Amino acid sequence: MVRQREFDVEEALDAGYANILGEGFEATSLSDLHPEMAFSAAKHISTFGDKKELFEAALRKYTRTPCF
């Protein structure tokens, strides 16, 4: 049986993306993202992988979202 996630992935993507946009990709560390995204490093890695993969997932989400 698969455990249900204790957080909303879409909300986490929004928070991570906003943090990276605000601080810049290079200036944002994973430890900066965890409080904003409301979960631990272990959950981050198991869900998104590294910071680059998180940012790419957020970009994919925003390119699929209509802007009107």
Domain boundaries, the chain: 9-61
Q: Which of 23, 18, 16, 22 has its CA nearest to residue 52?
A: 16
> Cβ distance 8 to 37 under 8 Å?
no
> What is the model's pLDDT at position 5?
57
Residue 19 pLDDT more than 80? yes
Residue range 32-60: mean pLDDT, rounded: 81
CATH number for 9-61: choose from 3.30.565.10, 3.10.129.10, 3.90.1300.10, 1.10.10.60: 1.10.10.60
- Is residue 66 exposed (0-12), middle (13-18) or buried (19+ Cβ within 10 Å)? exposed
> What is the model's pLDDT at position 65?
76
Task: Say which residue the tokens 């909303």 belong to.
Answer: 8
